[in-house]
């Protein structure tokens, strides 16, 4: 007698990548799988816009059950607390207690958070790890009046947060503390434009500093200097919850699951990892966590699971970067176009054209999810470079600097 049991797919995490993976596999393997999506909250979080929420800007709110309507996906609200790889069960703790979800295939999409364990006292700082964290920072800024505020970290998150605060709250003196030059991964001209925008907004930049400790009212630098402030935002470093490591799944030193070329765990091939929770190696190195790389991993996993349940061979994942888009407040931005290995090309985009470009490529993924529900989304549809030496894409009326 033919076995007609459907393959049980459980997806942990309903962020950008988990949501797309769940929708993609439900559509592309319809009738062959059951899909369960696990997430602590029922509201969908747009992590790319946490700096806007932290400065008091309203964002559209979406409920995960509504986004899943008509897909057949089961939503379980709760925290994933343990993975039993031998029994293939996931423990989930929710308002009604703990349940065990059986799986044949597990998709690990729990994302990452800012690493507050890097320096002592980081618990005194704000983070952008969740909407609740961002709203706490927004409440502080709204009540601060004429005050001082530190942003720790000169990566893209720190830059976007510093410029957003400076533009939204002119009475707040913002200082950006960074070990290296702000936007160090960008080309010379893009870094020059970025620095000029920081100066225009009145952001004080202190580069080449090492933060030794976060204090309740400021930070202490290596060497003993104390930089006082009324509030501090910590944006440097990332970590992944130890769920996979505790289960004996092979992870790297940040807690990401180490994957093979098909995005399966190297130690447990029934587990796929996507987005920030996956250590994915390409020819040029391990990709770093961004929405730009995360969504293609989710679409690729959905496709591979659909192939797997049909008895077809899995395909390797290939990805190349296209750009480094950075908001500089609501009215300015800089886009550094890149080679697939994320090194800068000579092309860049600045000013209002860059704002338009940034809003287009970083717009809400809800439309993409709608498309995934109807026809499915492949990694090729989401990846603009596909691992080749990519050429920047320009829209009508948009000129690129050279």
Min mean pLDDT across 13-22, 57-66, 130-139 is at 57-66
Domains in the chain: how many in total? 2
* Alpha-carbon 307 to chain mean position: 27
**Full domain range(s) for residue 52:** 7-112+240-320
Token representation of residue 55: 């400065």
What is the DSSP code (8-state) at residue 314? P
Residues 220 and 134 placed together within one structural domain of the fold: yes
Nearest in space to 10 (alpha carbons), one of 93, 83, 86: 83
pTM of the prediction? 0.89
What pLDDT does residue 401 have?
Answer: 42
Residues 164 and 206 placed together within one structural domain of the fold: yes
What pLDDT does residue 373 have?
Answer: 66
> In a 10 Å sphere around its CB, with 0-12 CB exposed, 13-18 middle and 19+ buried, how is residue 145 labelled?
exposed
Q: How confident is the model at residue 230 (pLDDT cuts 50, 70, 90)?
A: very high
What pLDDT does residue 278 have?
Answer: 97
Q: Tokens 């929770």 map to which residue?
A: 277
Residues 6+ apart with CB under 8 A from 234: 114, 116, 122, 125, 126, 127, 152, 153, 214
Residues 59 and 87 placed together within one structural domain of the fold: yes
Residues 15 and 104 placed together within one structural domain of the fold: yes
Longest dimension (CA), the chain: 76
pLDDT tens readout for residues 178-227 = 999 999 999 999 999 999 999 999 999 999 999 999 999 999 999 999 99
How far, in Å, are 9, 84, 257, 284 from residue 243 at the CA level? 18, 11, 10, 28
Task: Please report whether residue 75 resides in a domain.
Answer: yes
Q: Tokens 């989401």 map to which residue?
A: 382
Token representation of residue 153: 């970290």
Task: Please report whether residue 360 resides in a domain.
Answer: no
Q: For the residues 15-29, what does the mean pLDDT come to?
A: 95
Residues 103 and 137 placed together within one structural domain of the fold: no
Residues 85 and 159 placed together within one structural domain of the fold: no
Which of 297, 320, 343 terminates a domain? The answer is: 320
Which of 234, 258, 290 terminates a domain? The answer is: 234
pLDDT tens readout for residues 362-392 = 766 766 776 676 666 666 666 544 333 333 3
Residues 23 and 108 placed together within one structural domain of the fold: yes
Task: Please report whether residue 204 resides in a domain.
Answer: yes
Q: For the residues 45-59, what does the mean pLDDT come to?
A: 89
The domain that holds 212 is classified in CATH as 3.50.50.60
Residue 1 has pLDDT above 50, yes or no: no
Task: Please report whether residue 332 resides in a domain.
Answer: no
Residues 100 and 160 placed together within one structural domain of the fold: no
Give the Cα separation of 32 and 25 in Å (integer). 10
Residues 255 and 192 placed together within one structural domain of the fold: no
Residues 107 and 134 placed together within one structural domain of the fold: no
Which of 200, 234, 268 terminates a domain? The answer is: 234
Residue 299 has pLDDT above 50, yes or no: yes
């Amino acid at each position: 007698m033919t076995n007609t049991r459907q393959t049980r797919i459980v997806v942990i995490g309903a962020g950008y990548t988990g949501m797309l993976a769940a929708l993609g596999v439900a559509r592309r393997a319809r009738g062959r799988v059951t899909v369960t999506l696990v997430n602590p909250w029922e509201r969908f979080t747009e992590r790319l816009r946490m700096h806007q929420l932290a400065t008091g800007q309203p964002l559209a709110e979406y409920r995960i059950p509504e986004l899943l309507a008509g897909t057949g996906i089961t939503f379980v609200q709760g925290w994933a607390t343990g993975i039993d790889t031998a029994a293939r069960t996931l423990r989930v703790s929710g308002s009604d207690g703990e349940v065990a979800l059986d799986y044949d295939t597990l998709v690990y999409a729990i994302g990452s958070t800012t690493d507050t364990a890097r320096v002592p006292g980081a618990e005194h700082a704000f983070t952008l790890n969740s909407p609740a964290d961002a709203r706490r920072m927004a409440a502080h800024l709204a009540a601060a009046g004429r005050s001082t505020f530190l942003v720790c970290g000169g990566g893209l998150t720190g830059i976007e947060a510093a410029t957003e605060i400076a533009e939204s709250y002119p009475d707040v003196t913002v200082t950006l503390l960074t070990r290296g030059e702000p936007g160090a991964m960008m080309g010379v001209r893009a870094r020059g434009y970025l620095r000029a925008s920081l100066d225009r907004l009145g952001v004080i930049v202190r580069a080449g500093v090492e933060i030794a400790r976060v204090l309740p009212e400021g930070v202490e630098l290596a060497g003993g200097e104390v930089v006082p402030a009324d509030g501090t935002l910590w944006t440097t470093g990332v970590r992944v919850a130890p769920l996979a490591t505790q289960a004996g799944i092979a992870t790297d030193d940040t807690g990401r699951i180490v994957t093979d070329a098909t995005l399966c765990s190297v130690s447990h091939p029934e587990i796929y990892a996507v987005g920030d929770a996956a250590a994915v190696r390409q020819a040029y190195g391990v990709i770093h966590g961004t929405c730009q790389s995360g969504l293609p991993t989710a679409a690729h996993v959905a496709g591979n699971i659909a192939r797997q349940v049909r008895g077809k061979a899995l395909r390797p994942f290939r990805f190349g970067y296209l750009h480094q888009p950075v908001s500089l407040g609501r009215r300015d931005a800089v886009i550094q176009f890149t080679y697939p290995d994320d090194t800068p090309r000579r092309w860049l985009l600045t000013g209002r054209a860059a704002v338009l470009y940034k809003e287009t490529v970083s717009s809400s993924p809800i439309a993409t999810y709608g498309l995934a529900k109807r026809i499915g989304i492949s990694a090729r549809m989401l990846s603009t470079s596909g691992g080749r030496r990519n050429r920047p894409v320009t829209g009508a009326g948009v000129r690129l600097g050279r």
